[in-house]
Amino acid sequence: KEEKKDGAEQDNKDPTKKKERLLLKTAKGTRDYSPAEMFCRLHLENIVKDCFTTYGGSCLDTPVFERKDVLTDKYGEDAKLIFDLQDQGGEQLALRYDHTVPLARYLAMMGGTNTQAKLWQVGKVYRRDNPVMSKGRMREFSQADFDISGVWDPMIPDAELLSLLCTVLSKLDVGEFTVKINHRKILDGIFEVCGVPQDKIRAISSAVDKLDKLPWSEVKKEMTDEKGLDPLVADKIGEYVKYKGGPALLDQLTADTILMSNPNAKQGLTDMGLLFTLLKAYQVLDKFSFDLSLARGLDYYTGIIYEAVVEASAPPGFKAAESFASSQTENTAAPPPSKKKAKAGAEDEEIDETQVGVGSIAAGGRYDNLVGAFLAGAANNAKEAKKIVGIPCVGVSIGMDRIFALIWPKWVERGMRSKGTMVYVMSAGDGLLEERVGLVRELREAGIKTDFLAKTKPKLPTQFAAGEKDEVPFAIILGTDELKQGLVTVKEQRWELVDGKKVKLESTSKGTQVRRGELVR
Amino acid sequence: KEEKKDGAEQDNKDPTKKKERLLLKTAKGTRDYSPAEMFCRLHLENIVKDCFTTYGGSCLDTPVFERKDVLTDKYGEDAKLIFDLQDQGGEQLALRYDHTVPLARYLAMMGGTNTQAKLWQVGKVYRRDNPVMSKGRMREFSQADFDISGVWDPMIPDAELLSLLCTVLSKLDVGEFTVKINHRKILDGIFEVCGVPQDKIRAISSAVDKLDKLPWSEVKKEMTDEKGLDPLVADKIGEYVKYKGGPALLDQLTADTILMSNPNAKQGLTDMGLLFTLLKAYQVLDKFSFDLSLARGLDYYTGIIYEAVVEASAPPGFKAAESFASSQTENTAAPPPSKKKAKAGAEDEEIDETQVGVGSIAAGGRYDNLVGAFLAGAANNAKEAKKIVGIPCVGVSIGMDRIFALIWPKWVERGMRSKGTMVYVMSAGDGLLEERVGLVRELREAGIKTDFLAKTKPKLPTQFAAGEKDEVPFAIILGTDELKQGLVTVKEQRWELVDGKKVKLESTSKGTQVRRGELVR
């Protein structure tokens, strides 16, 4: 009786407060996944995990929350999106924002010896952003990360990782995808060559990052009006960042003597050359678009950066990046859609979901200084901190919710099953509960996914209906007389997709009699 | 350069504050799981998930945090252990404490129609308790839950669930285990018959629950001195709760006319009779100990309750419950170990880990009113709330961390591998990077877990050492001359356990030459 009342009260300590009605819902930006959806999600997750282990990866698991100082100063502007836990008389804690920072913290804790490892993590991360649920943009969302740590020869881990990304995306059946790729050192070199002051480089870089959502004219305006850049410098940048392409673009840039005179740009372009050779050996080069407008928001990247996109990634009115197959060097940005500007932090800001794309479905890059930063931070003094040699890393995060948002409608359309049960054990007539349980037990022990109706004396049509709900392909029917002769009936059932609905195929067969003792061997 | 400093500062907004050294650690009561440990944990998780689907279960996923009012008033005294999120200008949120309450919230949200389902969840839950890390008692810990919801015939779902529990524990190789089982209605009946006032029943029940850690004399003291129970009433309870046994105990209780005159006790004993019959059909009856001292802490149970224990479950000096095989009716409690009493809530309270057992490795029960409580709480008014018909449920939670704490030492002892890589591709001589990449790509495409050294021109011994670190059973060696003839060398490698260490078996074989083109078909 007491329980009946409980849910109704948000605070029953305060007797003056009127009982509030319970809001029966999940927290903003989070959702439940139903059994049918989870059947699809687990399928997708298994594909990803299989690829991860096939590439020699080992699983790592870190806690969902970290000591707050571990996450501090890692995410630039986005730090405001971190979920904090309430101080309940202990440590200051916060939910993890990604898998990369906890991984770097782990590697630093392992002693910072030069660990060479391939580590993967699949799990949820948390951001207090404005959710667009239908596009898989959530406050709680699932990321599958793969990272290669340690000093190796140049670009081999990077190529290994990008090959992995292409393999995963191909197997996930997301449709045509493109991996936009750039290099932080090339970008920095371009900015330096164009005359951007050092203290404006990160701000200008984050303006460039918006070129997938805004036309150049607006991005230029941000650079000059908001960020005080000389319009002539902005125009020079505009010349570079419109370039997209493949090895030919690399040749073009390598022939640019002004750019090549900049040490950063030269290093970046050398890396890209090596990378292209390896991507060719991995037979994935055609998936890539060398895209000078790609900048990526996070602070910690130091080398190559990349983002995988599909057609649904772009907001309506924008084309998704095109790969080498249809290489072009013109910016295809359409006029900006009439989209309400979402202000992060405002709790009830509405987003027009029809004007938002799925966004990139995977992204990552090289971050050579993050582990070292942790080690330096934990050092006894500045002198020791200076001697720290960190662990270079390169990694990728695959956005499982965005991929699910792409795949799920296809599953529904194809009428995929939502359960793997193979056998439904039934009784005709007298209930035969213990006999049913006995057979169910045997079948399950043999590894066969089996179910039955938890009723003492169920009617046969009720049992068939229960099995049909899950499209269970085999019915095994027990009857008192048959059992005396040591027999049971096995009946196969099939379904087909008619006008988008699963329909059971009619069958005149009464099934096949099989010896009970020979059913499981 | 900037990144190097970041980790060192807990708050770089305040210039007067001295840079604090970063504490490189995980939050209290949480830990990372290394690749070797995760290899074991994933193996255990897969066994559990396989059993869950074999029993007809479907996966459900709910968010890690809930709106706070969803968790309010569900956990009795333990509510103080809930982790709250900081109010950052939105909803009041808290981390989930278990999977049961979110499941009930989900079922209520699904419209509260009489959903008959088998649902499983595997994931982490959170409690601000005093951790005992070595025994798998954590603040963040992993539970695998299976629940059967809906109106079915009596005790069939209950037996199905208990059969599942026994199957899972047998397959997990936890060693000999016992499932202690009792029924809330039998307990309530006993308390009523002995003369416990209605308003003291839950308090006396929670005193009884301590009989697995304290001798009767101390529990009686709590009942009388702390909770004001008449000593004569306590003595009567003491007579009942010492009983443990099997069907014979059931017969004994059913013959107790005073007990059978109590409607609660009668209902509970009838349920137990049905349950024993079904457990026999499932061939698991010998795993159970009908234990009148089992009470379970949580408020929401309404029918059978159970707890699976192994020898390591009990604190030193206590025997774990014995099953029917060695049935006995005497309480085996030893004198209390000299254990510091841990006060929940005190952040830095130390627990003497040598004096703590692993605790129960799985537990659960029937909770018929929880979904209804959500529906009533969300109803428009009291009149509507009264009409609500809830969804009866029965469920079990398996403590994956405690099971890991039992299994992991065995894995280490047996020298289990910590990775599944099958092939390591190497080059003898000239590096042959692109050739190695090409073969690695082909092998992986064929589903073979393959790795290689990310170096341009690695030495052969370095490559062998890298493969041996992971005990990779097959080395494939590429040589320039051999490749010209279309050949590669395949070499099998074996290890054995010598004095607890893995040692590679010496082999005089130089491997087998295989045609490169026929390696993958």
Query: CA–CA separation, A98 vs A140, rounded Å?
Result: 11
Query: CA–CA separation, B355 vs B170, rounded Å?
Result: 27
> Which residues of chain A are within 8 Å of residue B345 when distances are taken between CB atoms?
89
Structural contact between residues B20 and B5, judged by C-beta atoms closer than 8 angstroms: no
Structural contact between residues B494 and B485, judged by C-beta atoms closer than 8 angstroms: no
Q: Domain ranges for chain B, please list them.
A: 35-413, 423-518
Nearest to B153 among A10, A380, A454 (CB): A454
B373 and A12 in contact by Cβ < 8 A? no
Q: What percent of chain A has pLDDT over 90?
A: 71
Mean pLDDT over A22-27 rounds to 93
Render A298-333 in DSSP notation, one character per residue.
Answer: -TT--SEEEEEEEGGGSPTTSPPPP-GGG---S--P
B471: alpha, beta or left, given left = phi > 0 and alpha = psi -120 to 50? left
Q: In chain B, whose CA is at the least distance from the CA of A451? A: B56
Nearest to B22 among A22, A345, A377 (CB): A377
Q: In chain B, whose CA is at the least distance from the CA of A118? A: B35
What tokens appear for A371 in the block? 């582990």
What tokens appear for B151 in the block? 């109106």
Phi and psi torsions of B225, nearest 5° = -70, -50
Nearest to A35 among B60, B153, B421 (CB): B60
By DSSP bridging, strand A423-428 and strand A450-452 are parallel
pLDDT on residue B331 = 41
Query: CA–CA separation, A172 vs A310, rounded Å?
Result: 13
**Residues ≥6 apart with Cβ < 8 Å to B321:** B178, B180, B212, B244, B289, B291, B309
A28 and B91 in contact by Cβ < 8 A? yes
What tokens appear for B475 in the block? 């080395």
Report which of residues A7 and B473 the model is more confident about.
B473
**Residues ≥6 apart with Cβ < 8 Å to A310:** A174, A175, A176, A177, A178, A320, A358, A361, A406
Which residues partner with B179 through β-bridges?
Answer: B288, B308
Return the residue in B1, B52, B65, B170 with the most chain A beta carbons within 10 A, the one to mutate for interface testing.
B65
The CATH superfamily assigned to A175-335+354-360 is: Bira Bifunctional Protein; Domain 2 (3.30.930.10)
pLDDT on residue B5 = 38
By DSSP bridging, strand B304-310 and strand B177-183 are antiparallel
CB pairs < 8 Å spanning A and B: 340
The CATH class of the A31-173+370-418 domain is alpha beta
Structural contact between residues B123 and B142, judged by C-beta atoms closer than 8 angstroms: yes
A41 and B25 in contact by Cβ < 8 A? no
Q: Which of A87, A99, A107, A372 is nearest to B28 (CA)?
A: A87
Nearest to B21 among A372, A378, A421 (CB): A378
Return the residue in A20, A65, A151 with the most chain B beta carbons within 10 A, the one to mutate for interface testing.
A65
Q: In chain A, whose CA is at the least distance from the CA of B171? A: A445
Using alpha carbons only, how large is chain A's radius of gyration in Å? 29
Q: pLDDT tens, position by position, for chain B (521 residues)?
A: 333 333 333 444 444 445 678 999 999 999 999 999 999 999 999 999 999 999 999 999 999 999 999 998 888 778 889 999 998 888 999 999 999 999 999 999 997 666 789 999 999 999 998 888 877 779 999 999 999 999 999 999 999 999 999 999 999 999 999 999 999 999 999 999 999 999 999 889 989 988 888 889 999 999 999 999 999 999 999 999 999 998 999 999 999 999 999 999 999 999 999 999 999 999 999 999 999 999 987 778 999 999 999 987 776 665 555 554 443 434 444 444 444 444 444 444 556 666 667 788 999 999 999 999 999 999 888 898 888 888 999 999 999 999 999 999 999 999 999 999 999 999 998 899 999 999 999 999 999 999 999 999 999 999 999 999 999 999 999 999 999 999 999 999 999 999 888 899 988 888 999 999 888 87
A3 and B70 in contact by Cβ < 8 A? no
> Which residues of chain B are within 8 Å of residue A105 when distances are taken between CB atoms?
24
Query: CA–CA separation, B340 vs B131, rounded Å?
Result: 14
Domain B35-413 falls in which CATH fold? BirA Bifunctional Protein; domain 2 (3.30.930)
B22 and A380 in contact by Cβ < 8 A? no
Q: How many CB atoms lie within 10 A of CB A15?
A: 6
Q: Which of B287, B348, B374, B320 is nearest to B66 (CA)?
A: B374
* Residue A10 scores a pLDDT above 50: no
B156 and A59 in contact by Cβ < 8 A? no
Structural contact between residues B407 and B172, judged by C-beta atoms closer than 8 angstroms: yes
Q: Over the stretch A393-421, which tens digit does the pLDDT of each residue have?
A: 999 999 999 999 999 999 999 999 999 99
> Which residues of chain B are within 8 Å of residue A455 when distances are taken between CB atoms?
152-153, 156
**Residues ≥6 apart with Cβ < 8 Å to B139:** B27, B28, B29, B30, B83, B126, B127, B128, B129, B131
Distances (CA, A) of B332 to A302, B202, B245, B357, B517: 64, 25, 13, 16, 69
CA distance B372 to chain A (A): 7
CA distance A183 to chain B (A): 18
CA distance A225 to chain B (A): 27
> Which residues of chain A are within 8 Å of residue B378 when distances are taken between CB atoms?
7-8, 21-24
* Residue A332 scores a pLDDT above 70: no
Which residues partner with A492 through β-bridges?
Answer: A474
* Half-sphere exposure (Cβ direction) of A52: Cα atoms closer than 13 Å: 27
A6 and B64 in contact by Cβ < 8 A? no
Q: Which of B361, B323, B265, B304 is nearest to B157 (CA)?
A: B304
Query: CA–CA separation, B82 vs B90, rounded Å?
Result: 19
pLDDT on residue B10 = 41
Q: Classify residue B417 by burial, with Cβ atoms within 10 Å: 0-12, 13-18, 19+.
A: middle
In CATH terms, A423-518 corresponds, of 2.40.160.10, 1.10.10.10, 3.40.50.300, 3.40.50.800, to 3.40.50.800
> Which residues of chain A are within 8 Å of residue B451 when distances are taken between CB atoms?
55-56, 118
**Residues ≥6 apart with Cβ < 8 Å to A275:** A155, A158, A159, A162, A304
> Which residues of chain A are within 8 Å of residue B282 when distances are taken between CB atoms?
437, 441
Phi and psi torsions of A289, nearest 5° = -125, 110
Q: Which of B245, B357, B341 is nearest to B294 (CA)?
A: B245
For the beta sheet containing B244-245, the strands, ordered from the edge strand earlier in sequence to the opposite edge, are: B58-59, B117-126, B140-149, B393-399, B362-367, B304-310, B177-183, B288-291, B244-245
Return the residue in A18, A32, A427 with the most chain B beta carbons within 10 A, the one to mutate for interface testing.
A32
B85 and A90 in contact by Cβ < 8 A? no
Q: How many CB atoms lie within 10 A of CB B152?
A: 18
B55 and A451 in contact by Cβ < 8 A? yes
CA distance B401 to chain A (A): 13
pLDDT on residue A358 = 72
pLDDT on residue A73 = 83
Burial B195-211 (b: 16+ CB within 10 A, else e): ebeeebebbbbbbbbeb
pLDDT on residue B17 = 47
Structural contact between residues A84 and A93, judged by C-beta atoms closer than 8 angstroms: yes
Q: Over the stretch A108-151, which tens digit does the pLDDT of each residue have?
A: 999 766 678 999 999 999 999 888 887 777 999 999 999 999 99
pLDDT on residue B334 = 42
Q: How many CB atoms lie within 10 A of CB A53?
A: 18
List the single range of A216-225, A426-435, B324-333 with lowest mean pLDDT: B324-333
Return the residue in B67, B99, B138, B474 with the most chain A beta carbons within 10 A, the one to mutate for interface testing.
B67
Return the residue in B59, B167, B168, B383 with the most chain A beta carbons within 10 A, the one to mutate for interface testing.
B59
Single-letter residue type at A305: I
Torsion angle of the four alpha carbons B315, B316, B317, B320, in this order, in degrees rounded to the nearest 10? 50
Query: CA–CA separation, B454 vs A116, rounded Å?
Result: 10
Q: B450 by DSSP, 3-state: which?
A: strand
Q: At what angle do helices B263-281 and B156-172 cross, to 10 degrees?
A: 50
Q: At what angle do helices B184-194 and B201-208 cross, to 10 degrees?
A: 110
pLDDT on residue A342 = 42
Nearest to A66 among B7, B27, B72 (CB): B27
> Which residues of chain A are within 8 Å of residue B8 when distances are taken between CB atoms?
376-379, 385
Q: How many CB atoms lie within 10 A of CB A450?
A: 24
CA distance B317 to chain A (A): 33
Q: In chain B, whose CA is at the least distance from the CA of A456? A: B153
CA distance B68 to chain A (A): 8
Per DSSP, A431 falls in state: -
Per DSSP, B143 falls in state: E
pLDDT on residue B114 = 63
pLDDT on residue B77 = 72
Q: A237 by DSSP, 3-state: which?
A: helix
pLDDT on residue A300 = 85
Render A8-77 in DSSP notation, one character per residue.
Answer: T-S-TT-TTSPPPPP--SPPTT---B-HHHHHHHHHHHHHHHHHHHHTT-EE-B--SEEEHHHHTTSSGG
pLDDT on residue B352 = 66
pLDDT on residue B353 = 66
Return the residue in B18, B64, B298 with the most chain A beta carbons within 10 A, the one to mutate for interface testing.
B64
